[in-house]
Structure formats: C-alpha cells, structure tokens
Amino acid sequence: MENNNQSEIGVGESTQPPSVGEDDEEKSKLKCRSKLEELLSDDSLPRTRRLRRAARMELKTLLRILVPACIVYLLNNVTSTSTQVFCGHLGNRELAAAVLGNNGIQNLAFGLMAFSGLWDFFKLSSSSAVMICLELWHLQILILIAGLLPEPEVALDTLAICLTIIGLVFMISAGFNAAASVRISNELGAGNSKSAAFAVIIVTSTSLMIALVIAIFVVAYRHILSYAFTGGKHVAAATSDLTPLLAVSIILFGVQPVLSGVAVGCGWQSFVAYVNIGCYYLVGVPLASILAFKFRLGAKVEKARKRLDKWKDEADESSGK
C-alpha cells in the first residue's frame, strides 16, 4: 500500500501545474510584448494601414527620447560654434587658430574621454570607445592635411566652416544615435524582433530626411551662409565652391551615426570599429590626400581667389567707363 501511495503521489506531482516562478516568467514575456509588436503582427489589418499606425506609434516613442538628446548635444556644441563665429569675424588667422583649438584639441580630448572607466567596464566600453575615437579623430587628420595645402590659413578657415556645419548636423544625428541605441536594445531585449526592425527603418529614414532638408538649405544659400562665420571674401568664395561636397557629407553624416547607434543597440560595437578603420583610414583619408595633392582638388582656394580677382577687374573696368 505504501508503495502504491508513493507511486500515486509521484504521478500527482508530475501532473501538477507549473510553479509560481514559471507562471511569472510567462506573464513577464506577455507584458514585454509591446503594442507595436502586436500591431505589426496583426494580419487582420491591411498592410498599409498597419504600417501607418505603427509609424505614428514609433515616432511618438522616438521623439520622447530624441528631442532631449538632440537638445543636450546641440547645447554642448554651441560654445565651440559661437567661438568660431566670433573668431571668423576677427580675421582669417584667428579663425584658423580657433579651428586648431576646437576641432583639433577638443575632439581629441573628447575621444580620450570615451576611455573613462575603461578598466572597470573593459568588455562593455572598449569597443564603443574605439568606435567613437575612430569616428572623431579622422577629422583631425583632415585638418592636418588642410594645413599642408597652398594658403593654409584660407584652407583651414574653409574647412572650419564646413566642419562646423557638419558638426551641427552631427549633433542632431548623435541624438538619433542615442535614440536608436535605446529603442533597438529595448525591443531586442524584450524579444520584439519586428518592432526592432521597424524602429531601425523609422529612425534611419527620419534622420535621412532631416539631413536632406539641411543639405538643400545649404546648397540654396551657399553664397550667403559662409558669411555667418567669416567676413573674408576669399574664404566665403572657397566655401561656396565646396558646398556640393559639403551637401553630400551632410547626407552621409545624417545616416552613419544612426547606423552606429543601431549597431550599439545590437551589441556590434567591435564590428563597427573594424568598419570605421576600413572606411575612414584605409579609404577616406588616403582618398582625400590623393584628391588634394595628386589631382589638386585642394586648389579650390586658388580658384576662388581667381574668381574674386576677375570680379574685381570687371568692377574696375565698369567704374572706369
């Protein structure tokens, strides 16, 4: 009888419902399933209607993270930008000195700050620190290259204006970077793969549209915009000649930081560090050197000076008549 009772108890134990811990785990999984994931998985709605609703829902969530991040990054950039604006109206040499101080030393120090607390959180921070440094320090190499061009003061001033405009766009993209990292990591951590993929599309397309609008604005006001940073006609003319390349750079900087944020949210920091090495230092910097010195595309300053001299001669001739 005892054996029969023991066997009956054993059978009863094996048929008991899941434990309290298992029930809590199942409930937590259901709670983690977001409304966005449920909407994207709802096949009863037409695809177009489902995507419109999902886009509105994702934009509301994205803006709550994006707007404060963009404000913080832009405010951090205001000091260096205003310094370059004031120095640019003092003279070309003063603007060149401000370039070396702000874009050179400041970005170098900012890159080193990424290594703070490295020993305590080595596995988590090393890849991200290397990724940030590689993104920032290639700009310092471009500044050094510009200093080797003919008329280095004007070349540095022109590059300073372009980098300042790109820097403002980069601050907005950095806000998208933070928002993308948070959204992707949260959705992947909750197991919402469709929501994570949809968030990538929304954040990337939104940042790209903003970058396109800024690029069109810069091209449309190419002859006026540079005078906000300098009073020199040579620098303004050279900056105007570089505006098409500046517009392309603005569009690229509107996407690249966002994709870096997506990679951070997915935990791909090491992969992005290798990509940055290949793109910036094996392709970008050597290509810039070849275009500047071999094909003399760095002679935009000389072309701008010749154009101004031609306008001056035409004005003298018309005044003489």
Among residues 130, 144, 158, 136, the alpha carbon closest in space to that of 268 is found at: 130
| pLDDT at position 216 over 90 | yes
Of 22 and 227, the one with more pLDDT: 227
> What mean pLDDT value characterizes the chain?
76
What is the per-residue burial (b if ≥16 Cβ within 10 Å, else e) of 21-60?
A: eeeeeeeeeeeeebebbebbeeeeeeeeebeebbeebbee
Of the listed ranges 9-13, 169-173, 303-307, the one predicted with least confidence: 9-13
Nearest 5 degrees, angle CA 231-CA 237-CA 239?
A: 90
Rounded to whole angstroms, the Cα distance separating 249 from 238 reads: 17
pLDDT value for 103: 62
Backbone angles phi, psi at 179, to 5 degrees: -65, -40
Taking a C-beta distance cutoff of 8 angstroms, is the pair 196, 188 a contact? yes
pLDDT value for 86: 79
Tens of pLDDT, residue by residue over 180-202, are: 989 999 888 888 888 899 999 99
Tens of pLDDT, residue by residue over 113-128, are: 555 554 555 555 666 6
| pLDDT at position 244 over 70 | yes
